[in-house]
Every structure is written in C-alpha cells, then in structure tokens.
Structure 1
Amino acid sequence: MSKPLDGKVVVVTGASRGCGRAISIELGALGATVHVTGRTTREQRSELNRPETIEETAELVDKAGGVGIPVRVDFTSTADVDRLVRRIEDEQDGRLDILVDDVWGGDHLAEFDKKFWEGDLDKSLRMVRNGVESHLIALHRLLPLMVRQKSGLVIEVTDGDKDEFAAALPYYLVKSAIRRIGEAVAAEVRPHKITALIVTPGFLRSEAMLEEHFGVTEENWRDGITKDEHFAMSETPHYLGRGIAALATDPRVDRWHGKITSSWELMRNYGFTDLDGTRPDWGAYVERRFDYAGDNVNPDDYR
C-alpha cells in the first residue's frame, strides 16, 4: 500500500536524538526517504557526548516504514554540507522535497544561572556558531536544490514562539535568530513555490532532558514533576514530529507560509496525539497558569 510520502526526499538536520530523531521517524512512517544527519555516529561522538547515533535513527526510520540514510554532517562545516549535497545529487538526482532544519548542539554550552558578562565568552560564541551559523550554512547549500525544482517545504525548528527575553542572552539570541531566519527565508523563497515556516515544541521530554535534568526515563517521567511542577505538561519529541508529518501531507500547507507555529497549535489544527494518546497544550497552559489563574490550574486539564 502506498504511503503519502512515498518517493519524497527529506533532510533532517540534528537527527541524532530529540526532535530531529522523532521527526525523521514520523516522516519515515509516511514512506519518506530521510537523510538522517548529525555529528554522532557509532564510531564518533559529538562534543555533547550522548550515546544516540544517526545510524540508530536511520534504523528506526526503516522500522517505521521509510528509508533511513545516515549521513555524518557537521553543519558548521561547509565542506561537510557540500558532501551531503553531492550525495543527494548522485543518489536522488538532486531531489529534495522537505528540509527540517533542527540542528542545535548548544545545551551543554548554556549558562542559565549567570548574567552574560559573568559567563564563559567562548561558550557563548560557540553556542551562536552551533545554533545560528549551522542553520545559515544548511540553508545556503540545500535551498538551491528546491529552488531549481520550484517546490519544497522548509521548516526551521526553534524553542519558543515569542521573543520575550527570559534568561541566558546567548540562548535567547540563537532561538530568536532562528525565528527571524525562518521569516526571511519565507520571504525569499515565495517566488519559487517553496513553503517555509518556523515551529517550536513545548516543554520537551528529550533523552537529555529526561536523563540529565530530571534523572528519570520515559517510563517513569512523571516522577520529575516533583522537581518542576510544569514538567506535568511535557511532551515527547514525537509530538512535534507528528505535527511536522501533518504539515508534510497537507495539500494546503502553504497557508502556514512565513508563520511561527508550535506543536500545540498544530495539534489544534490537525488533531494528532502524543505517544500516550494525550494532547498537551503548552500554550493554553502557560497562558492560563501565568496570566490568569496562577496556582489554581490543573495540568491534566490541558493534556
């Protein structure tokens, strides 16, 4: 039986783990051929020193029903990205239907407990390189494939849908810059029949968040609520992945062009669930919890 993304060629950046991994799997489940790109392989780990690899992600794409192609790419290296482009030219006749730009690699560099001038400048600059320059390099090298074919879907992945400063200037700079990059790309690609938009997850239960920040697993994640009450509203990376899968199969996806959207807004429009069957609405929860009702808010009412 054919699937809606059979024959579609995808690149997901930052696909070793987290949202990148889940997005790859969800697109693969719809039949896509997914180039799973990132820095961590079974032979070599990135500076994050996490165990998840692009090969594992590609195998999960295969298992879901797609074709997973692991390609080691450091997106701060134009040479690495050029090799990826040549591979797409050789193996896919230069076809690229969907680019999900999720590369990040900055969690270990964030210093949320310090003012900017108190922090490590080298870490701050490294975060900007990992989180902003990587997106620019990916777009500069991969967008021409879509421009040439006059079609495509480009999705920039950030953190947050608004620009209010919370903490950590470098982190804020990176995530707000990605929103601006996405808006600018949307303006530039419109004449070429390419749709571009920006998405964000809510409170994400990534592998690193579970293990390193809360000391829990996906099976007992609710134990982490004792450390942070808002963790009750957390979502798996597959929640955003399912939102992106819905976008990728929407014949009217161009209505999202240039917009900043979120896992919860996509859920409201497309009706998908998280892996546990719930529908976390982080946006509604935050609005009610912090703007109106304060402590008198039950997270279960927003799942």
Structure 2
Amino acid sequence: MGTLGGKVAVVTGATRGAGLAIARVLGEQGATVYVTGRTTRGGRAPDGMPGSVEDAAEAVSQAGGVGIGVRCDHTVEADIQALFARVRREQGGLDLLVNNAWGGYEGAASGLPMEPFWTLPSSWDGMFVAGVRAAFDSSRHAAPLLVERGRGLIVNTIAWAHGEYLRHLYYDVAKSALARMAYGMAWELRPHGVAAVALAPGWMRTERVMAAHDAAPFNLDATESPAYLGRAVAALVADTDVLRWSGQLLTAGDLAREYGFTDVDGRQPEPFRIPAGV
C-alpha cells in the first residue's frame, strides 16, 4: 500500500468504530490525520459509548502518524468552517477527506429495527442531518483545499449489500444518497484531479456491534474488523491512479483483492451480503 508520509487527512466521526480504525491505519502509513467527533475527554458520548477525539489522536500518533483531535459537530456549519480553516492554516492543504460521521444509530443501541416505515419513529435528523448533510457540508468546505492541491480523494463510507434493500427505509435512502453524492462530486471534481468514491465495509466488529454481542451472543464468522475498511482507504489514497475509481461504489472486499491487503487475521472477507432469512 506504500507510505502516506506527508499526506494530510480529515476523518470525521473518528472517536470510535470505523472512523477510529481508518484514522489509525492512515497513521500506520505515516499520515497526518485530523480526527473529529463530538466527544472530548471528560464528556459523555451518545449512548455511553467509549472514545474521545483526544484518545483517537493519540492512537494515530502511537501507530506512527501525527494525530490531531478536533472537537467538531458536523451538524454545525461554524464547527466545520473552523475545522477546515485550521487544516488550511496548519497544513496548507488537504489530501483526503473521509466522511464517516453518522448520527443515524443514536438511540438504537440494539440495532435499527426492521419494521414497516409507517410504524417507525422519525429518524430523519439522525440519518439526513447528522448523516447526509454532515457529509455534504464537510465536502463543500474540504473541496477548495483539495482542488487547490490539484489531487486528492473524498470517501463517503456507506452501507451497501449488492443493491439489496437494507430493511430500514430511512437508513436505506440515506446511504443511497451518500453513494449518489459521491457520483456527483466525482463528476465535478474530476477536471481538478480530485476523486470521490463511496466505500462500503462488511459487517464490522465495532464497539457497538460487540456490545450487542456481549448482551446477546451471535455468530461472528461473517464479520470483519474495522481495520479492513481502513486498509481499503489507505490503499486508495496511496494509489497514484485513484481517478480510475472516481464516482464508483466500492467495497472493502473487492479492493482487498485488487490491492492485495488482508484483514487483521489474514483473511480477505467477501463483500457483505444480507444473510438469507433476515
């Protein structure tokens, strides 16, 4: 996957889960990573989950990179503006934005209910304000830094199962919107040498998933570590021909076979599919 020394990245929603894993893998490759989230040390995370921006920054630095923790609520435009103004001031540019901040799981500690949409309480704000709009606004403020550098990458992390319905209407529509957003951004950024993709992991053993497993054990054979997604991001940003992927919906499993990386256990899990009978 090469080295990312000298590369500057922003990973949103990086206090735990996929975002933390992506940031740590980028650190292993030598990148400078701004990790964002709403939780700082001494504060309480939504749903009581562990992690803080300071912890995430330390994890990046301990892995070999330079970690910089920034408290940022990606539903607040002033926070986003301040974040990218700081990146410009301190680094002079940007090579990678990973849109991973996602408010759609809050209040759903046991998972999203697979029920008819007309019976569900509204989760519009979590899915579309703290999810889709957060990615759009972050991309809007990051794009000038990427365009000025004449290269770079935006990654929208999404859920995807080979086009199958994700069994929760708000979730399905929001994640589809992020994929379409990447397609549109790619079209407009290509003349400036900047790529944009949507990237889907499989079923990850995040803190939230493992907490659910601890409460009611289930088979983990089909799962993968969050680092698998991180290695996919690192491979993309190290690829000097990353524009060949621009606008596409990619999976960690397919990219593992393309670039030759594995999960932490040496396996190459297949792209995620919804299990039969679910």
Within-5 A mapping of 1:270-289: 270-283=259-272, 286=273
AA aligned opposite 1:158: I
Q: SS state of the match for residue 113, structure 2?
A: coil
Unaligned runs of 5+ in 1: 217-222, 295-303
C-alpha contact 2:196 2:247 (8 A) present in aligned 1: yes
C-alpha contact 1:146 1:194 (8 A) present in aligned 2: yes
Q: Say what the alpha-carbon RMSD is for the aligned residues.
A: 2.0
> 1:256 corresponds to which residue?
245
Shift of 1:43: 2.9
Q: SS state of the match for residue 167, structure 2?
A: coil
C-alpha contact 1:109 1:124 (8 A) present in aligned 2: no
> 2:14 corresponds to which residue?
15
AA aligned opposite 1:117: W
Compared CA separation, residues 37 and 149, structure 1 to 2 (3 A) = same
C-alpha contact 2:27 2:65 (8 A) present in aligned 1: yes
> 2:115 corresponds to which residue?
114
Compared CA separation, residues 145 and 107, structure 1 to 2 (3 A) = same
Instruction: Please give the alpha-carbon distance, in whole angstroms, between the structure 2 residues aligned to 1:23 and 1:232.
Output: 22
C-alpha contact 1:48 1:105 (8 A) present in aligned 2: no
> 2:95 corresponds to which residue?
97
> 2:151 corresponds to which residue?
151
Q: SS state of the match for residue 210, structure 2?
A: helix
Within-5 A mapping of 1:89-238: 89-93=88-92, 95-109=93-107, 111-121=112-122, 123-160=123-160, 162-211=162-211, 213-215=212-214, 224=217, 227=218, 229=219, 231-238=220-227
Q: SS state of the match for residue 204, structure 2?
A: coil
Shift of 1:20: 0.5
TM-score, length-normalised on structure 2? 0.92
AA aligned opposite 1:38: G
Q: SS state of the match for residue 199, structure 1?
A: strand
How many residues of Structure 1 are paired with residues of Structure 2 in the alignment? 273
If you compute each CA radius of gyration, which structure gives the higher value, 1 or 2? Answer: 1
- Looking at both structures, which has the greater relative contact order when contacts are Cα pairs under 8 Å and sequence separation is at least 6? 2
Compared CA separation, residues 163 and 282, structure 1 to 2 (3 A) = closer
TM-score, length-normalised on structure 1? 0.85
Compared CA separation, residues 106 and 126, structure 1 to 2 (3 A) = closer
Shift of 1:108: 2.6
Paired-residue identity, %: 40
Answer with 65-74 or 242-251: which moved more: 242-251
